[in-house]
Amino acid sequence: MQPLIWDSRPDTLRAPALVCAFTGWNDAGDAASAAVQFLGSSLGASRFARIDPEEFFDFQATRPRVRLVDGRTRSVEWPEIEVYAARVPRAPRDLILLSGPEPSMRWRTFSRIIIDLAEALGTQLVVTLGALLADVPHSRPVPITGLASDEALIGRVGLGGSSYEGPTGITGVLHAACQEAGIPSASLWASVPHYVAAAPNPKAALALVRKLEGLVGVTVDASELERASSDYERQVSLAVQSDPEVQAFVERLEQAAEEEEPTLSPQDLPSGDVLAREFQRFLRQQGPGEP
């Protein structure tokens, strides 16, 4: 059996961008996987393919789960990589969303399958999302770093380039595979406070969604994620205030963030024309009858 299993074949996707996120090592605070799940839910994405896990997972490390059906029958759910199509008629392109656990083995073969999928669907851009633990305060804007095969992609959304060297995950391997295949690609990474590493971080997920919007030209209504982000920041702040030692540590992080934050000159700020274009794009994608 071929690892890539097609449920159906999406036709006439317009200049699609493939957005990938994997749970596990690349997904601090569940931020990257939550961002892709939110996009899929907001855009009404439908599954059309999956990757069989047999060749790529160590089931002792990523265990299948047993689920009760109708309270009696047991069903085994295997870890799978699922692929969804999201059509966005009023945007310049459609999206292909790929998510699931990070595979345990045969990363080069796995990446080749994703490249074959991208080429079969005429993908024009591949974007991987990730999140990492860092010395950043929860109360400040989420730092987003990234890299791209084309410097214009970095400049388009104002990314600070990453100078990271060291161990990588499947996102780094997939990004390299895209470069070898000649497919334009970018990788976006959100920094998550290490002192709340175990908690899901909707604020980082929101930051990834916003950066992705500027990169692919697709806008979503993120009101729900914005509310979750505000609740997250408020709850973490209350927890921090209850411990003087932790509060002092966070205050030092906040001070360091302010010292490192560059001062923007008027030339660095987006022009009124740019802001107007972004707002008009959002309105076009909402369609008639929307506020």
- Segment 170-195 mean pLDDT: 92
CA 221 from chain centre, in angstroms, equals 16
Q: Of residues 74 and 71, which shows the higher confidence score? A: 74
Evaluate whether 160 touches 52 at the Cβ level (below 8 Å).
no
Asked if residue 283 has pLDDT above 80, the reply is: no
Topology annotation, domain 4-286: Rossmann fold (3.40.50)
User: Lowest-pLDDT range, 39-53, 54-68, 109-123?
Assistant: 54-68
Neighbouring residues of 142: CB distance < 8 A, sequence distance ≥ 6:
136, 190, 191, 192, 203, 204, 206, 207
pLDDT, tens only, 79-93: 999 999 999 988 999
Distance, CA of 98 to CA of 4 (rounded, Å): 12
User: Lowest-pLDDT range, 1-15, 147-161, 184-198?
Assistant: 147-161
Sketch the domain layout of the chain as residue ranges.
4-286
pLDDT at 3: 93
Asked if residue 53 has pLDDT above 70, the reply is: yes
pTM comes to 0.85
Neighbouring residues of 91: CB distance < 8 A, sequence distance ≥ 6:
217, 218, 219, 281, 284, 285
Reported as type and span, the H/E element at residue 85 is strand 81-86
Q: List the one residue out of 108, 84, 88 whose CA is nearest residue 98.
A: 84
Asked if residue 263 has pLDDT above 70, the reply is: no
In angstroms, how far apart are the furthest CA atoms of the chain? 66
DSSP 15: S
Q: Of residues 155 and 231, which shows the higher confidence score? A: 231
Beta bridge partners of residue 128, listed in sequence order:
20, 187
Q: Of residues 159 and 277, which shows the higher confidence score? A: 159
The mean predicted confidence, pLDDT, of the chain is 86
pLDDT at 270: 41
Q: List the one residue out of 9, 94, 5 whose CA is nearest residue 44.
A: 94
State the CB neighbour count (10 A cutoff) for residue 159: 21
Phi, psi of 46 (to 5 degrees): -125, 140
- Segment 189-206 mean pLDDT: 92
Beta bridge partners of residue 22, listed in sequence order:
100
Distance, CA of 6 to CA of 253 (rounded, Å): 48
Q: What is the DSSP string of 17-76?
A: EEEEEEESTTBGGGHHHHHHHHHHHHTT-EEEEEE-STTT--TTTS--EEEEETTTEEEE
- Segment 203-232 mean pLDDT: 94
Distance, CA of 140 to CA of 153 (rounded, Å): 25
pLDDT at 278: 44
pLDDT at 266: 41
Tokens representing 43?
Answer: 């855009």
Asked if residue 269 has pLDDT above 80, the reply is: no
Tell me which amino acid residue 85 is: A
Q: What is the DSSP string of 131-168?
A: EEEES--TTSPPPEEEEESSHHHHHHHTPEEP---S--
Asked if residue 157 has pLDDT above 90, the reply is: no
pLDDT, tens only, 27-37: 999 999 999 99
Distance, CA of 218 to CA of 96 (rounded, Å): 12
- Segment 95-117 mean pLDDT: 96
- Segment 56-70 mean pLDDT: 89
